[in-house]
Amino acid sequence: MKSTESPSTGRFIKSNWKSLPAPPPFPPRRLPPLPPHLPRLPHRHAGEQICAPMPGNILAVNVTAGQTVKKGDVLMVLEAMKMENEIMCPRTA
């Protein structure tokens, strides 16, 4: 037990408080593999997912399957919290 003086009353307070250890870090989230009935694309980055920064509605999709895209191209427009957010390609593919 630890005795400390209360700044407001000037009385001594006994506490049994101990600092707690930091919780272990959470493991990184892994996406499950695609089900076997879905087609596999021949490109080396096939099946890569781009996560939206927040939940919302997709207003426009600016690319088609198999299209070559460059880093910074706008892939889709996401509406969230009454704002339109452009989801951009992270790398050339």
Asked whether the beta carbons of 14 and 2 are under 8 A apart, the reply is yes
Q: What is the mean pLDDT of residues 42-60?
A: 74
Task: For residue 38, give the H/E element and its range.
Answer: none
pLDDT tens-digit series, residues 76-91? 999 988 889 898 888 8
Q: Which of 64, 45, 46, 59 is nearest to 87 (CA)?
A: 59
pLDDT tens-digit series, residues 14-31? 666 666 666 667 776 777
Q: Which two tokens stand for residue 55?
A: 């939940």
Burial (CB count <10 Å: 0-12, 13-18, 19+), residue 56: middle
